[in-house]
Amino acid sequence: MKLRLISLFCSKTEDDTGEDEPRLIVNGVQVWGAEAPGLNDRDTADLSAVPVIEFGTRARIELFDADAGGEDDDDLLGRFYVGRMQSGQGEVEYHFVEDDADYTLTYEVTS
C-alpha cells in the first residue's frame, strides 16, 4: 500500500498567539514539518514534496504542534489510521480537531 500526502489546511491554530509549528508523523517517523514554515489560520501547506510512503496493512498518521523549549510537550492534534479500505477512493480528507485546533489533511491511498 502507498500513502501520498497532498496538503494540510489550517482552519484554526492550536496556539493562542502566533503560528503553529505542525509536524506530521507516519508510523512513528516525522515525514514533514522540520524545515517547514509555521502555519496560521487559513494557511495551506503543500505536501507534494513529501515522498510517497509505503506501508503494510495500515499506517498511523499523527499531527503534532511542536512546542520549542519550556516544559510543555508537543501537542497532539489528532491521530488516525489509513488502510486498504481507502485504496482507490482518490483524494480523501481527515480533520484533526484535538486541543482546540482545526486542520484538514488531504491524502490518497493506492495499492
pLDDT for position 67: 74
The CATH code of the domain that includes 17 is: 2.60.40.1110
Residue 106: pLDDT above 60?
A: yes
pLDDT for position 72: 59
pLDDT for position 34: 77
Q: Which three cell numbers stand for residue 20?
A: 503553529
Distances (CA, A) of 29 to 8, 34, 43, 63: 17, 12, 24, 11
pLDDT tens profile 36-45: 789 999 999 9
pLDDT tens profile 56-103: 999 999 999 987 655 557 899 999 999 999 999 999 999 999 999 999
Q: Strand, coil or helix: what is 84?
A: helix
By residue range, what is the domain housing residue 48?
2-110
**For the chain, how many structural domains are there in total?**
1
Q: Outline where DSSP puts E strands in the chain.
A: 2-12, 22-26, 29-32, 43-46, 53-54, 58-65, 75-83, 91-96, 102-110
Question: Among residues 4, 2, 40, 1, which one has the least CA distance to residue 24?
Answer: 4
pLDDT for position 35: 78
pLDDT tens profile 2-33: 999 999 999 999 988 789 999 999 999 999 99
Q: How, if at all, do strands 2-12 and 58-65 pair?
A: unpaired
